[in-house]
């Protein structure tokens, strides 16, 4: 029998989901069998899988030892890894990070280490703010994702409560984001609204764009505003009213103004002429709207943040007077 004490970051979870994360080698069917046979108890009492855990609860796990042998986060890796982060804002609950283009956020088939989450976890471990050996199931986590070749603000939660609140707010669209992009040509009108229908091809990781509803298609609505025009390029600010895969890239291309450097939806000959291999897209601005309140994160209500610079804006629109060096149009609050 092993005992596990529930900490603050574990509170509020269902018993069965907590145990499955704590013991990843334990098959789901066997977990349910152990619950039925009352071999998993909370404070000495048999419990059902949907029981909610409270801070300070003690679990008694009458489970075979081999299921406790899952590899843990390597403290040696976390101690020796050299985190490289551009921090836009940090407090005891979260980090806002300016992810550079080319960096993946999570491990995938092409990149197993040197991901953004590796940098975050090593940074917090070395600061003494997170120790995987002291946690049962929680690890610092990202609340939003950005494509490998897109740069900009990514939110990371330092504790389970912040992660839950931020995930809820993102789902309810109570966090506003704005993007900067360099596009080919010039929008007419210079400011407006694009409404399209996107149908994703999972195999190709690409979307088809339609101007009328299609079976399986999802509505995509984007607001845009031209900030500067230089030669054959325009610096455009975009705001998503829906969050679809490749929404800005695909809908702007459909409108006749693909992003510079975009290998999926752009123009190869133009990208080659400029020498760009990554789409000129940057999530540069974020605001915590929180109209319904945010509990422990309510202090962030109404605050806004932006990156210090957007490299492609500096390169192709050096004369623009829109905002700071990156060409951003609004000066968000910085902390």
Q: What distance lies between CA 264 and its chain's CA centroid?
A: 22
Angle between the 28-36 and 15-22 helix axes, to the nearest 10 degrees? Answer: 130
Contact 214, 199 (CB under 8 A): yes
Give pLDDT, residue 20. 86
Give pLDDT, residue 145. 87
Contact 247, 258 (CB under 8 A): no
Q: Which residues of the chain have a pLDDT value below 70?
A: 65-66, 69-75, 108-112, 320-335
Instruction: Sketch out the chain's domains with CATH numbers.
Output: 2-68 (3.10.290.10), 75-171 (3.30.2350.10), 175-284+310-316 (3.30.2350.10)
Give pLDDT, residue 7. 87
pLDDT digits (tens, 9 = 90+) for 43-95: 999 999 999 999 999 999 998 766 775 445 566 778 888 999 999 999 999 99
Give pLDDT, residue 324. 40
| Burial profile 209-247: b = 16 or more Cβ within 10 angstroms, e = fewer | beeeeeeebbebebebebbbbeeebbbbbbbbeeebebb
């Amino acid at each position: 029998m092993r005992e596990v004490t529930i900490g603050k970051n574990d509170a509020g979870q269902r018993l069965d989901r907590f145990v499955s994360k704590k013991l990843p080698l334990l098959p789901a069917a066997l977990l349910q069998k152990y619950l039925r046979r009352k071999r998993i108890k909370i404070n000495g009492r048999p419990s059902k899988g949907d029981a909610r855990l409270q801070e300070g609860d003690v679990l008694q796990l009458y489970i075979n030892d081999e299921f406790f042998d899952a590899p843990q986060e390597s403290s040696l890796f976390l101690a020796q890894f050299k985190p490289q982060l551009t921090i836009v804002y940090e407090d005891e609950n979260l980090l806002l990070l300016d992810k550079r283009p080319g960096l993946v956020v999570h491990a995938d088939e092409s990149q197993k280490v040197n991901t953004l989450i590796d940098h975050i976890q090593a940074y917090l471990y070395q600061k003494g703010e997170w120790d995987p050996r002291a946690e049962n199931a929680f690890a610092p986590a990202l609340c939003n994702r950005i494509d490998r070749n897109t740069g900009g603000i990514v939110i990371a939660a330092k504790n389970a409560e912040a992660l839950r609140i931020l995930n809820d707010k993102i789902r309810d669209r109570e966090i506003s984001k704005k993007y900067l992009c360099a596009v080919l040509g010039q929008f007419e009108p210079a400011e407006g609204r694009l409404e399209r229908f996107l149908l994703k091809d999972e195999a190709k990781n690409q979307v088809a764009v339609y101007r009328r509803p299609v079976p399986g298609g999802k509505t995509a609505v984007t607001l845009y505003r031209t900030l500067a025009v230089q030669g054959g390029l325009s610096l455009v600010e975009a705001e998503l009213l829906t969050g679809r895969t490749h929404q800005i890239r695909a809908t702007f291309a459909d409108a006749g103004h693909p992003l510079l450097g975009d290998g999926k939806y752009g123009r190869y000959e133009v990208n080659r002429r400029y020498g760009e291999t990554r789409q000129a897209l940057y999530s540069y601005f974020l605001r915590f709207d929180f109209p319904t309140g945010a509990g422990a994160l309510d202090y962030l209500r109404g605050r806004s943040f932006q990156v210090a610079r957007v490299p492609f804006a500096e390169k192709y629109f050096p004369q623009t007077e829109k905002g700071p060096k990156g060409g951003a149009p609004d000066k968000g609050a910085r902390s």
